[in-house]
Structure 1
Amino acid sequence: MALVLPRLTLPCLQLAEALAALTVASLDELAFLLGASDGERARGFAFTLQALMDCALVWSDGDGRLHLAAPLRNAWASPLGLDAPLGQLLAGSSSDELGRMLAKLGVKPAANRKAQRLAALVEQHGDPARVAALVAKAPTATRELLDRRARQAPERPGFVLFGTPQADAGPGEQWAVERGLLVRDRHRYGPARMPAEVALALRGSDWHAPFTPVPPEVRSVPVTGSDVEREAAAASMAFAAHAVSVLGVCAAAPPARLKAGGIGARELSRIGRAAQCDEIPVRLVLEAASAAGLLARDGDRVTATAAYDTWAGKEPADQFAVLLRAWWALPLAPGGSRDEDGKALPALAGAPPCEGCVQARHGLLAAASRLPAGEGAAASADLGALLVWLRPLADELPQDATPFATLVTEAELLGALALGAVSPLGAALLADDAEALADACRRLLPAASGTARFGSDLTAVVAGTPSAHLFELLDSVADREAAGAASVWRFSPGSVRRALDAGRTADALTTDLAAVAVEPLPQPLSYLIHDTARSHGRVRVVSAACVIHGQEPALLAELVAHRGLVHLGLRQLAPTVLISRTPADKTLAALRAAGYAPVAEEPDGSVRIERARRHRAASPVPPPRRPGGRTRAQRTDARTADVGTAVDLHALARRLRDAPQDLAKPDPYDGRPYASDTEEIIAETARNLSFTDARQLAHAVDEGRSITIEYVATSGSTTVRTLSRLELDAPYLHAWCHLRDDERMFTISRIHGVMPA
């Protein structure tokens, strides 16, 4: 069930929901409810019903009645906004209560036993005409109440606080309860419930359940296979170049992780500027590379792994195939950059697995493959609408202005979609054929380029994806200006100096660049390299703990050659100047111990005067005790009296002695420290909750109570939310969020506080 449900189309879910509302129905009853008795809707109804039967989700018994698989029925709390049928709601009623309802209706059952009375009542309200005639005789207040209740979803009992009975019903509701049009709990908890038969009858014969058997129309334009391949090749080449750039930046300067987890907006912006690509490609590369094992968390950083070094040495087609396969199986939406509040989300945040994201990705290519051969979608928004019909349970991103806009952008960036049609890359992904995918990548992506064209304007242009060696060489001596189908580097005095600082020489740089040049190196580039090399190192900077200088070169040369002063690390910069790796005070002491008489200088060049320091007490010595002072015993009694004034120690001892003995006993839960299994699960998962808060949260889950939590989102922001309808699925908590007025999933480890609602 869990495998087939996300793959059901919209009409399949609509038909299943209608059958769940009717519980058991004939073919004609179900078709009438969906408004599919004839025409194209009837053909769509037959096709949809057969699809559900092929999946063994619906079957027909010997009497021609249709039945729905029980697990699928539980997918809807109130299908079509209807409550349970009358027979189920009145199953707990007594025979006398049923008899009184029949008496109000003027119906006499075949027998006075409970089963016959219940059957007579179900038959009475199962006829829409009888229900309509009965309601027509009701008071005005009752008719308005029933009409309103028939068109709204039933209230769930979970919204009523446990132990709080419902207020007495008004005259209008009481009239309906006495005749079985509304059913109240026999313990008078929760609102009165309207049976499904009654609600359908009051909605009228012209009301039909939603049913969309025909997919939305996708406007298409003619495209040729060569055009699709050309567009896919350009997109894949650009993405492969971006991937090399982004991962190269991460390998050289690993991005820092946020305290809440993931790579924040500042680091993403830094990587994007260095790699010269937008945010979505950066996020896409990071998530795919992490899934492929090229990046891994290392303390407070995300660093490249040994697998990255192997990947970097492969051809662009093989590099791209690794990332494309990782994207196809990603259990998340890598392009999701904003949450439902519009706040930025970090990348690589370790979001919980999202099966709906995978289904959306697979469904998008399936939607595009439905187009006729030689046709492509004129607008990507049409593919999003078709995807909603094909995969109604797929997860959409809150940042999308049109359905699945970010997902369509991802597929186009990777070349899986091109000109609104499925490319050979997308077809190989849909077929789950690794060999076909590798062949398509090799056909669309050329081999890595090992040569560059150097221009007189001090630029180097590489067509296609540069090889790892060429990429490293040009990055070391020039600044990258553009990346994509063609990459451009520009040389400058600063970039050449950077290579010289790394230990390269002018001759070595010229030789290495000439080896990868298509034509001889231009004269301006050679002049730039050698001119920069001539001025390189004319001024040198050295680290020193202190400087020694004097007027006698022979004396300073003697200090350098002195074996007893080798540990100072002396080095002669000039005949009268030495530097030492040892701080000034220790250098002075060592020179004096060796028999020399150095002096120290102040920063302004004056001689430092050394005077012996005088040591003085930090505070004056207290005066001697004067005669007449209190003795040690008197002072002790006085201190005891002062304590006794604040706390009565004797009274405190009596209270501790008389306290109930069971207060000191451990919790009496079969020797376990937890009151329930729920509490134990939450206590093991909620790292940021105290024992009291964990117990309060577990109690709310077990008792169906509402609760207020302090929650830290993946973006790092802290919010206070009131939750109800709690369902524990460790390490997650599913609940109705009153702040968002929607169902939400919360990570228990991100809950930092629990309060009563």
Structure 2
Amino acid sequence: MLLDCALVWPDGDGRLQMAAALRGAWASPLGLDAPLRQLLAGSDSGELGRMLAKLGVRPAANRKEQRLAALVEQHGDPARVAALVAQAPAATRELLGRRALEAPEQSGPVLFGTGRAEAGPGEQWAVERGLLVRDRHRYGPARMPAEVALALRGPDWRAPFVPVPPEVRSVPATGPDVEREAAAASMAFAAHAVSVLGVCAAAPPARLKAGGIGARELSRIGRAARCEEVPVRLVLEAAGAAGLLARDGERVTATAAYDTWAGEEPADQFAVLLRAWWALPLTPGGSRDEDGKALPALAGAPPCEDCVQARHGLLAAASRLPAGEGAAEPADLGALLVWLRPLADELPQDATPFATLVEEAELLGALALGAVSPLGAALLADDAEALADACRRLLPAASGSARFGSDLTAVVAGTPSARLFELLDSVADREAAGAASVWRFSPGSVRRALDAGHTPEALTTGLAAVAVGPLPQPLSYLIQDTARRHGRVRVVAAACVIHGQEPALLAELVAQRELGHLGLRQLAPTVLISRTPADRALAALRAAGYAPVAEEPDGSVRIERAGRHRAAGPVPAPRRPGGGTGTQRTDARAADAGTAVDLRALAGRLRSAPAELPEPDPYDGRPYASDTEEIIAGTARNLSFTDARQLAHAVDEGLPITIEYVATSGSATVRTLSRLGLDSPYLYAWCHLRDDERVFTLSRIHGVMPA
């Protein structure tokens, strides 16, 4: 067959040459990697010399060309390779035997050098002797030269060749049965398509930053449309190819073509999607990549011509079955497709060959009971008129009526018309879709319709117009009861509320033109609302000559006392614990501030003052004057004993005090405190700087001064 198609031909040396296009599509038909000479093209002479030394081979010369030729000659002899492998460790023999039967994973020359990854068990021995060739960056597994693989396969190995297609087990599938099954599948898919695209039109799905509709949005659409992931993906990809959906910024939205499509009969709607699926350059049901990660839909993947060929080949494979018979197992059709189209791409998620593709064809009704349906036959014949006729024959016209039950359900047989679909969706919740669609009414669904502006009379009239028979009493009562409760409580957005005791005054405010920008609206004679925040409304009313007051959330009048803001006082220079007395520090600070000090008067006071005892060491075991003093001295480690005693005295006597305090942020401030309360390691006090109650950590107090 290949010779007849001029894909291969014999040359003068008795070898078969392959067409370049076929070689590009089928890089390694025998599962062999590149020859040894090609894999070692990037090696250096030293690396080749080490391989030859391990093999015990001496080349004619030590140049790279002679060493490479000697290595190729060594591994070109199957007997030598077999003898060499027989001497290898058991792990290496097991590895080489397995790799000889595996297809290669990469092509091209390999460059040698040091790598970061370690070789697998038994691999290093083979790499050192050229039986495996490793990339210099250790990227991917080591590769086996074609000569080595052929030698290990043995002289009796022959390329696999199956001249007869695999047998497909068949079961009876008469024409009427196939049409009935195809009609059920196509009706269900048409209903799913209407639901999915209706959801997308009402709430356009968001696109991922990398492009496409992600798994979360697909799940949302599936829940809203009541269908599984594969039909959702199939509808989205087909609708995108048909121009019913398009990218709009960060979302995928319905187009004007969708509005036209939504008004057509189900047969015409289905034909549009079926033709789009037949030409799709991808397999829409492919939801997982090689690593098992979810793939986005409508991601704009590169065209896959092999996917189109696989789709066409599947129906061609099914058409080979005798008339009146269908495949007993879908997997048999996949195996036949592999034989007919060996270059067609399979999805990594498929447990059996082309399982996803077979599922898509069955969902669309192109395959039914393992046989090609009239829809599939029209696709194979590429006959648009025959396809339209088959769709009209298998899919009934859109249903414009529903059967309402006393259990508050509505059932529509077949595909509902666009008008019926919109009406039922607005006032009920969809529970099922397919050959028959089911909606259920509830107080919440009826309230949703009333919120959208429908009146109870319009709802009752609209439902009665599409009902088969009179509306059940429970449904009429539900609509009337929900309408009676609807709107009894109203919620309005307002930035602030204005109220008072004089209706005439509030009416005057509403009538004031200069207050029009406040957006005032009168809810009651004594209540106004405004779209302007409270502070701005207060300012505007006062500017207009009125005297409003603000209220707290509890209804009390808000006191607008101007806050006292003071700058933090300068922080004195740090002192060593045990520094001078308070009087000395005060005089020193006055000197630092530039205040004139009478040194003679100071000296006179010092001479007339009684002699002071040296300050006691707070840690020498002496008793303290009070428990408060002992607690503060043991906790406020940055205070001298005198400062600790002064702070303790202020706590015990309830006196104000000034402290130097370093906050956790590192900022230092001077604060005057009163109403002191000690709860070690904290000091509770009223801070005059912040005009509020504050808590201070004793260990962060660095100085104490009289208030």
Q: Which one-letter code corresponds to 2:448 in the other structure?
A: R
**Greater shift in the superposed pair: 382-391 or 51-60:** 51-60
Q: Tell me, in whole angstroms, the C-alpha distance in 2 between the residues paired with 1:589 and 1:69.
A: 88
> Residue 558 of structure 2 is aligned with which of 608, 619, 630?
608
Contact 1:360 1:394 in 2 (8 A): yes
One-letter code of the match for 1:247?
L
One-letter identity of the residue aligned with 2:287: S
Amino acid at match of 2:359: T
Of residues 408, 414, 417, the one that matches 1:458 is 408
Does structure 1 conserve the Cα–Cα contact (< 8 Å) formed by 2:428 and 2:446? yes
Deviation at 1:369, TM superposition (A): 0.6
Matches for 1:135-284 after TM superposition, within 5 Å: 141=83, 144=86, 158=108, 160-161=110-111, 203-204=154-155, 206-284=156-234
Q: Give 1:376-525 correspondences, 5 Å limit.
A: 376-525=326-475
CA distance in 1, matches of 2:317, 2:81: 53
Contact residue 35 and residue 145 of structure 2 kept, 8 A = no
Match of 1:52, SS state, is coil
Q: Which structure is richer in relative contact order (CA contacts within 8 A, separation 6 or more)?
A: 1
Deviation string 1:116-136 (CA, Å, 9 cap, x unpaired) is xxxxxxxxxxxx9xx99xx6x
- The CA distance in 1 between the partners of 2:282 and 2:143, in whole Å, is 40
Note if contact 1:461-1:487 (Cα within 8 Å) is conserved in structure 2.
Answer: yes
Contact 1:83 1:195 in 2 (8 A): no
Does residue 1:80 correspond to 2:33, yes or no?
Answer: no
SS of corresponding position for 2:2: helix
CA separation of 1:453 and 1:611: change in aligned 2, threshold 3 A: same
Distance 1:63 1:614 in 2: 106
Separation (CA, whole Å) in 2 of partners of 1:329 and 1:154: 31
Question: 1:3-14 maps to which residues of 2 (within 5 A)?
Answer: none
Q: In terms of mean alpha carbon deviation, does 550-559 or 435-444 score higher? A: 550-559
- Equivalence for 1:572: 522
1:548 is aligned to 498
Cα deviation digits, residues 519-550 of structure 1 (max 9, x gap): 12222211211111111111111111111111
Structure 2: tracts of 5 or more residues without a match: 40-75, 115-125, 134-141, 573-588, 595-707
**Contact between 1:154 and 1:193, CA under 8 Å: does it hold in 2?**
no
1:366 to 2:366 alignment: no
Structure 1, unaligned stretches of length 5 or more? 1-50, 90-127, 165-172, 185-189, 628-757
Pairing partner for 1:528 from 442, 463, 478: 478
* Secondary structure of 1:610 counterpart: coil
Equivalent of residue 596 in structure 1, options 531, 534, 546: 546
1:475 shift after superposition: 0.4
CA distance in 1, matches of 2:506, 2:483: 33
**Aligned in 2, Cα 1:71/1:224: closer, same or farther, shift over 3 Å?**
closer
2:293 partner amino acid: K
- The alignment's TM-score, normalised by the length of structure 1, stands at 0.61
Alignment-derived partner of residue 289 in structure 1? 239
User: Percent same amino acid at aligned positions?
Assistant: 83
How far residue 277 of structure 1 moved from its aligned partner, in angstroms, is 0.6
Give the Cα separation in 1 of the matches to 2:391 and 2:567.
Answer: 82
Is the Cα–Cα contact under 8 Å of residues 78 and 153 in structure 1 kept in the other structure? no
Q: CA deviation at 1:492?
A: 1.2
Q: For 2:552, what is the secondary structure of its paired residue? A: coil
**Secondary structure at the residue paired with 2:334?**
helix
How far apart are 1:86 and its partner, in Å? 13
The code of the aligned residue for 1:264 comes to: G
Q: State the secondary structure of the residue aligned to 1:80.
A: coil
Deviation at 1:443, TM superposition (A): 1.1
Structure 1 residue 324 and structure 2 residue 282: aligned?
Answer: no
- Using a 3 Å threshold, how does the CA distance of structure 1 residues 71 and 141 change in structure 2: closer, same or farther? same
Name the amino acid aligned to 1:563: R
CA distance in structure 1 between the partners assigned to 2:36 and 2:556 by the alignment: 105
Q: Pick from 541, 549, 560 the counterpart of residue 510 of structure 2.
A: 560
C-alpha distance in 1 between matches for 2:394 and 2:213: 32
1:151/1:203 contact within 8 Å kept? no
Aligned-residue offset at 1:592: 2.1
Shift of 1:210: 1.4
Q: CA deviation at 1:158?
A: 4.5
* SS across alignment from 1:247: helix
User: Aligned partner of 1:551: which letter?
Assistant: Q
Q: Deviations over 1:472-508 (max 9, x none)?
A: 1110011111111111111111111111111111111
Q: How does 1:539-688 map to 2 (within 5 A)?
A: 539-617=489-567
TM-aligned CA distance change 1:393 to 1:145, over 3 Å: farther
Cα distance in 2, alignment partners of residues 460 and 193 from structure 1: 69
Distance 1:319 1:513 in 2: 25
Instruction: Report if the CA contact (8 A) 2:33-2:143 is conserved.
Output: no
Counterparts of 1:87 and 1:596, CA distance in 2: 99
Task: Name the CA shift for 1:563/1:244 in 2 (closer, same or farther; >3 Å).
Answer: same
| 8 Å contact kept, 2:38–2:108 | no
Distance in 2 of aligned mates of 1:73 and 1:487 = 52
Counterpart Cα distance in 2 of 1:400 and 1:210: 23
Q: CA deviation at 1:349?
A: 2.4
Residue 244 of structure 2 contacts residue 256 of structure 2 at CA under 8 Å; is this kept in 1?
A: yes
- Partner Cα separation in structure 2 for residue 437 and residue 269 of structure 1: 32
Question: Deviation digits for residues 120-157 of structure 1, max 9, x if unmatched?
Answer: xxxxxxxx9xx99xx6xx89946958998996789999
Q: 1:612 to 1:551 in 2, by over 3 A?
A: same
- Rg larger in structure: 2
Report the secondary structure of 1:450's partner residue.
Answer: coil
| Aligned CA-pair RMSD | 3.9
Kept in 1, the 8 Å contact 2:33–2:107? The answer is no
1:56 and 2:6 are equivalent in the alignment: yes
TM-fit CA distance, 1:445? 0.8
1:87 and 1:621, CA in 2 relative to 1: closer, same or farther beyond 3 A? closer
How far did residue 433 of structure 1 move? 1.6
Structure 2 CA distance for aligned equivalents of residues 163 and 497 of structure 1: 74
Partner of 1:481, secondary structure, is: strand
Displacement after TM superposition at 1:348 (Å): 2.1
1:352 is the counterpart of 2:302: yes
Matched, 1:375 2:319: no
- With over 3 angstroms needed to count, the CA separation of the structure-2 counterparts of 1:191 and 1:582, relative to structure 1, is closer
Match of 1:339 in 2: 289
Given that residues 34 and 107 in structure 2 are in contact (C-alpha distance below 8 angstroms), is that contact kept between their aligned partners in structure 1?
A: no
Structure-2 change in CA distance of 1:523 and 1:300 (3 Å)? same
Of Structure 1 and Structure 2, which has the larger fraction of its residues in helix? 1
Change (3 A) 1:443 1:625: farther
Which amino acid in 2 is paired with 1:431? Answer: A
Q: Deviations over 1:666-715 (max 9, x none)?
A: xxxxxxxxxxxxxxxxxxxxxxxxxxxxxxxxxxxxxxxxxxxxxxxxxx
Contact 2:521 2:530 in 1 (8 A): yes
